[in-house]
Every structure is written in C-alpha cells, then in structure tokens.
Chains A and B, each alone.
Chain A
Amino acid sequence: MPGACPATEQLAAALRGKQSSPTEAELAAHLAECANCRARLEELAGGSGWLETRAKARGASLPPASESLHKAIEALESHAPGQEVKPETTAPLSFLQSSDQPGILGRFGPYEVIAQVAIGGMGIVLKARDPGLNRIVALKILPPALAANSLARARFIREARAAAAVVHEHVVPIYAVDEFAGLPYLVMQFIEGRPLSERIRASGALRLEEILRIGAQTAAGLAAAHAQGLIHRDVKPGNILLENGVERVKITDFGLARAADDSSLTREGYIAGTPEYMSPEQARNEPVDQRADLFSFGCVLYEMATGISPFRAEKPLVAMRRVCDEEPPAAHTLNPKLPEWLGQMIQRLMAKNAAARPETAVEVAAELLILA
C-alpha cells in the first residue's frame, strides 16, 4: 500500500483542499488502495448514509420547477419583508363626472359629491347630496380595483343588501344599494361625528361610564344584526361612529369585509384592512359565526379601557399571528381604575376558543347595561 494511513487532521485538510503533506497525488494513491481510509474520509465529510438516501430518492423527485415558480421566487426576492406596500391614502376620484356647480366635487349617478370622507380597504366614503330628497348622505363605493373582480362586486352588493335589512338605533341605516358605471355602492345616513378610533386617539382610555355606555350600545347594535343572521366580520373602533353631541353609537360597514375577501388584493397576499381586531378563526380562515364579532368587540372594549389595542403590530401579518397566539395582559392590570369584573368580561370575550366566549351579544349588552 503506498504510504502510511494519513492522520485525521490530514484528511480534514484534504477535504478543504488545503493539504500539503501528503500531497494530493500521494493521498489519492493511498486512498485507491485503502478501503479503511476511504471510509474515514467519507465519514469525516459527513456523507455516511444520508447521501445514499438522497441519491436514491431522486427518482421520485420533487415536481419539476417551472417558469412560473421562477417568476414567483423573483417577485418574492425583490419584495423583502422590510418593505411593505403602503395602501394608498388618497383615492383617485376619476370616476366622478365633472360638475360646474360650485362646492361640488363632481357627480356620481344622481348624487352631488361634496367631499371625500375616508378611504379604506373596503371602500371610498363620500359625503354627497341626494337632490331628489334634498338630504345629505354618505356614499360608500367599492374601490375600482376591487370592483374589477366580479366576485367581490357580487359579494359587496349581497352583503350590503343584507345589511340594509337591519334597522336599529345603533346601526347606520342603509337607504339604497346600487351600481353606477360598473362600481357598486351603497347610500347611508350621513353621521355627523367621529369614529371611536379618533376618540381614543385623542383622549386615551375612556372613563368607566363611557366604556359601559358605548359598549352596551355597540353590543345592542351587534345583537340586532346577529338576530338577522348577519355577522359584521370587521368590528373595530374605526367602524363604530359616535354622533356629535350625544355620542350615540352607530355601527357601520356590516359584512363588507367579506367583499374584499375574494379580491385580487388578498390573492396577492395582502390583507384588506387591519387584522388586529380579527378573531383567531378569521385569521386562520376558518368558518365563523357571531362569536367572531364578540372577540373583536372584546378587543374594542379592551382598547377603550386601556387606550391600547391588544394585538397591535406594525405589520398586518404579525398582528394576525398575535391574535392567534398571544394572551395580552388583562385590561384591569393595565388600568387599575377598571373594576376587575370588567377586565374578566373582556378576557372572556377575547377567548381564543369561540366556545369559551359568551354565547350572544344580547347577554353581553344586558350585562353592560345593568352595570352601567
């Protein structure tokens, strides 16, 4: 046999291509004859066993890569998670028909548009005048990007019609559901006031009697919708309007979250709206019932009670995970002025498992009313 068996360090150096003594030729000559050193080298390389398995497995290999796969990988590489796409904050109102009338932005169907109120994932909200009845209304228009999707369009109309059937003092009344220039829209009462989200942003945690009053009215509004078999699916402070003066609660946007569900936006992996108030079952895309709204309602109570949204996160996808996995500290531990029973009620509403939540919004409303 040519040469003596090399030391382990010499074999290791050979693996790295760094050996000097013996030379590669000398080592090669030795290996050709010495089965034991071949086994030592292979073992040192870490090849024992697994490589044979892999080599054999190549017969039943992965489905072949394709052009589409490469495109997907390229798209992902150019879109690192550090750079999230920001939703547009101003909507192009190019779909309005121009108008010469002073104080009017333009026309949308029979309506004279006065101002843009808000824009969200689910729609553009405009303040408008209904010339027929001479009253101010709010128009909610499905954004053109979503309206291009026939499923989203059909869903928007169906959900809006169902929502229009709910008549309750704490639900924003819907006057009409229609379509204009390919854009479905709904006509609602225009509420002079501001959403609960702005209220909390301005003043932080609310006083106990306010929490109970706003909470009881919200629960009552939800109960009325649930009685008709309707689930809101996007209960959050931004959808709870407080009327000027009396601060009476008016819930808006019933069921509209569903319209965006089929959208091209979610197809591309973006989540419509903010998922931080979403129930875990929604985050996991599982079937939901009215108890999903109760979870979200619990988050709203929590935020009123502490000034903090319990599952808040910079990125929607992170918020989704927190909703599913994290237990925020009980509200009464963050705000010592809060009675413990309210903190516990909020915990029950925010139970991860729907079965552990209160059954109905009616009982929650009743409990809050008694205590208010």
Chain B
Amino acid sequence: MSAAPLTRPSLLLRLRDVDDAEAWSEFVRLYTPLVFSHCRRHGLQDADAADVAQDVMRVAAGAMPEFQYDAARGKFRGWLLQTTRHRLHKFFARQQRAPQAASETAMERFLDGEPGADEQARWEEDYRQRLFDWAAEKARAEFQPATWDAFWKTAVDAVSVKEVAGQLGISIGAVYIARSRVIARLRELIETVTDEPVATLEK
C-alpha cells in the first residue's frame, strides 16, 4: 500500500547549481546548527562555535559543485563531520597559548585521528534531531495553530489524545487527523533533503 516514492531533485544535487539561492539558504539553515552543536559539544564557547560553523559551511559551499550525486547519498554527512573536525583541530591549534593548553593538546590529538564510534553515533543522532527540528520549524507556519498543537502535544509532549482534544475543544478523531497530517508533512520535508526514507534514517 505504500505510494511510489516521489522523485525530486535532492537538496545536495540542487546545490551543484551555484545560482540556486533558495537551495543554498535551505542548506545553510539545515546544516549550520548541526555543525554548531558539534562544536559546542567539543567545549567551544557560543561565539567560537558560530565562527567555526561558518568556516565549515564556507568550505562546504566550495565543495558542493564538485560533489558527486551518488557519492552524496549518506556520505555527505561523513564528509561534513570530517571537515568540522579539521576546523576544530585548527581552532584548538590556535589556542595553544591559552593557559589550559594541556587539555587542549589532548583534544587536538583526539581530533587528529578518525572519529570514534561514540562521536560518529553522536553526530548521526544530532543529524536526525536537526532534521526533525528543521522540518518542524518549516512546517509549523503551514498549519493552523490548533492542528499544530494537536500534533505537538500528543507526539512530542506525550499528552493523551483525549486530554488534548479537551484542551483544544475538538473531537478525538480530529486530533488523530491533525496529528497525522503534520506527521505526513514532516516526513515529506525531511525526504526532500535527505534522499533517504525517514524510516531508514531512524534504524
């Protein structure tokens, strides 16, 4: 009963066209917070993390036109993680004159090698979370507040359908419909940027 998958030019593919400003904007909004988070997890201050994230995204901008479409499936994230680690490495190398040099040297050594399984898993988890947050930010504006709330309260805040129906003054069945509509839209949005079915991403 599953519908035929829709084919759309993926975000990464669209980025090979440097004039596609909308694709660029989407790309920046989706991935910059992910890189930023990774930097924060490595202990960078807010402003430094934003600087490094900006650097990484500019490197990515230059690399995109050359990125092979097939190779981009799933591999782009790995590449982005590597680039983020290189930039973090560079950042810590510059901090060597700081008093806490000892721990930073250890950090540098750590960043010099391949990402470990833990870091890899953290990154993947952050990526999935970012996809969800990004899609939610976009979808929210497309729905009536009651429709959105029906979804958010039941799916995210884990409030019972009955209670939400009471709060919103709609029927229980209407909560189910509203919630499914938002879910369908979120899934659709996520699939425009990943080329991977959402269900696969979560496995």
Q: Known contacts being A72-B36, A76-B58, A317-B63, is A285 close to B90, with CB within 8 Å?
A: yes
Whether B105 sits at the interface, judged by CB under 8 Å, is: no
Residues of B within 8 A of A268 (CB): 54-55, 58
Q: Are B94 and A321 in contact (CB under 8 A)?
A: no
Whether A209 sits at the interface, judged by CB under 8 Å, is: no
A24 to B176, CA, bound (A): 11
Question: Interface readout for B125-144 with A: 1 if CB under 8 Å, 0 if not?
Answer: 11011101100000000000
Q: Are A8 and B1 in contact (CB under 8 A)?
A: yes
Whether A17 sits at the interface, judged by CB under 8 Å, is: yes
A81 to B57, CA, bound (A): 10
Residues of B within 8 A of A41 (CB): 176-177, 180
Q: Are A62 and B130 in contact (CB under 8 A)?
A: yes
Residues of B within 8 A of A31 (CB): 172-173, 176-177
Surface stretch bound by B, among A46-54, A301-309, A352-360: A46-54
Whether A42 sits at the interface, judged by CB under 8 Å, is: yes
Q: Known contacts being A58-B156, A81-B62, is A45 close to B176, with CB within 8 Å?
A: no
Surface stretch bound by B, among A63-71, A122-130, A197-205: A63-71
Residues of B within 8 A of A49 (CB): 199, 202
Q: Are B174 and A69 in contact (CB under 8 A)?
A: no
Whether B70 sits at the interface, judged by CB under 8 Å, is: no
Question: Interface readout for A277-302 with B: 1 if CB under 8 Å, 0 if not?
Answer: 00000001100000000000000000
Q: Known contacts being A15-B184, A55-B156, A81-B24, is A316 close to B36, with CB within 8 Å?
A: no
Q: Are A46 and B55 in contact (CB under 8 A)?
A: no
Residues of B within 8 A of A92 (CB): none
> Which residue in B129, B184, B186, B199 is a CB contact (below 8 Å) of A61?
B129
State how many angstroms separate the Cβ of B69 from the closest Cβ of chain A: 15
> Which residue in B25, B54, B62, B181 is a CB contact (below 8 Å) of A316?
B62
Docked complex: B162-203 residues within 8 A CB-CB of A = 171-174, 176-177, 180-181, 183-184, 186-187, 198-199, 201-202
Whether B119 sits at the interface, judged by CB under 8 Å, is: no
> Which residue in A32, A50, A267 is a CB contact (below 8 Å) of B198?
A50
A32 to B126, CA, bound (A): 35
Looking at chain A's contact residues, the main secondary structure is helix
Whether A329 sits at the interface, judged by CB under 8 Å, is: no
Whether A57 sits at the interface, judged by CB under 8 Å, is: yes
Whether A73 sits at the interface, judged by CB under 8 Å, is: yes
A115 to B152, CA, bound (A): 69
A27 to B180, CA, bound (A): 13
Count the B residues whose beta carbon is within 8 Å of the partner chain — how many? 63
Q: Known contacts being A47-B187, A80-B21, A320-B62, is A55 close to B158, with CB within 8 Å?
A: yes
Q: Are B36 and A81 in contact (CB under 8 A)?
A: no
Question: Interface readout for A74-90 with B: 1 if CB under 8 Å, 0 if not?
Answer: 01110111100000000
Q: Are A62 and B37 in contact (CB under 8 A)?
A: yes
State how many angstroms separate the Cβ of A296 from the closest Cβ of chain B: 20
Residues of A within 8 A of B183 (CB): 42, 45-47, 51
A32 to B175, CA, bound (A): 9
Question: Interface readout for B58-76 with A: 1 if CB under 8 Å, 0 if not?
Answer: 1101111110000000000
Question: Interface readout for A102-136 with B: 1 if CB under 8 Å, 0 if not?
Answer: 00000000000000000000000000000000000
Whether B49 sits at the interface, judged by CB under 8 Å, is: yes
> Which residue in B49, B54, B202 is a CB contact (below 8 Å) of A50?
B202
Docked complex: B49-101 residues within 8 A CB-CB of A = 49-51, 53-55, 57-59, 61-66, 86, 89-90, 94
State how many angstroms separate the Cβ of A316 from the closest Cβ of chain B: 7
A321 to B64, CA, bound (A): 10
State how many angstroms separate the Cβ of B198 from the closest Cβ of chain A: 5
Docked complex: B1-47 residues within 8 A CB-CB of A = 1, 3, 18-19, 21, 24-25, 28-29, 32-34, 36-37, 40-41, 46-47
Question: Interface readout for A8-29 with B: 1 if CB under 8 Å, 0 if not?
Answer: 1000101111000000110111
Give the 7 A-B CB pairs with smallest separation, nearest first: A317-B62, A28-B173, A269-B58, A68-B50, A47-B183, A81-B61, A46-B187
Instruction: Provide 30 A-B residue pairs closer than 8 Å at the C-beta atoms, listed in order of the A residue.
Output: A15-B180, A28-B171, A29-B171, A30-B173, A32-B171, A41-B180, A45-B180, A45-B187, A50-B198, A55-B156, A55-B158, A58-B129, A61-B129, A63-B40, A65-B36, A68-B47, A69-B33, A69-B36, A69-B46, A72-B32, A73-B28, A76-B32, A80-B18, A80-B25, A80-B61, A81-B24, A151-B94, A267-B55, A269-B54, A321-B66
